[in-house]
Amino acid sequence: MAGLCQGSNEFPDSLQVIRKGVELFGDHPPANRWITHHKDLTCSEWRDALKMAGNVAAVRAIPGKTMDNNRCSYCGSEIETLPHVLGSCPHGEALRNTRYHEVRSAIAQALRNTGFTVFEEVHGLSTTGSTRTKDMIAFQDHRRDFIIDPTLRFETCKSQPQDVH
């Protein structure tokens, strides 16, 4: 999949938004195996996933998609980009929350399958007395303890995981 990234700089500046989703394809081939082995997806799901990964899904921010304006057609509060639709538009909040809980539970189950004890949605008090919630606390024989708060984001660049810290 690295080939998809290699020619991407040939896009003119006005179309650079299109290449954002493919920048990370070559970094972790097992996670991107669905691109060539799509047996778990219908043809329609696979086609839509490719469009979203390549950032060419039909949103108003893509050049040529709309003649009047590029504001979100549901909430109008922001430019209708794929990250807005998937990550912050109030119209999809229920679906986004459901997806988040499914991903958190899948990570918790994967950790349990490797011998970790995992607690989800752990509530506690900080040293200042305010309440805090951690998505997961995982430990294994008191050797390795982790506090895990997964965040689902639209991948925009290779440095994104480091940029949030």
x/- letters, 10..39, toward Zn ion (CB under 5 A) = ------------------------------
Given candidates 41, 75, 107, 137, which one binds Zn ion under the rule CB under 5 A? 75
Given candidates 72, 86, 108, 111, which one binds Zn ion under the rule CB under 5 A? 72
| Residue 124 DSSP code | E
CB 32 within 8 Å of CB 49: no
- 93 is a site residue for Zn ion (CB under 5 A): no
Tokens linked to 111: 């950790």
Amino acid sitting at position 76? G
SS3 152: coil
Q: Which stretch binds Zn ion (CB under 5 A): 4-12, 17-25, 86-94, 117-125?
A: 86-94
Q: Which is nearer to Zn ion, 91 or 101 (CB)?
A: 91
Please give the sequence-ordered ranges of beta strands (E in DSSP) within 61-130, or none if there are none: 117-125
Given candidates 24, 53, 89, 108, which one binds Zn ion under the rule CB under 5 A? 89
How many helices (H) and strands (E) the chain has is answered by: 5, 3
Contacts with Zn ion, residue ranges (CB under 5 A): 72, 74-75, 89
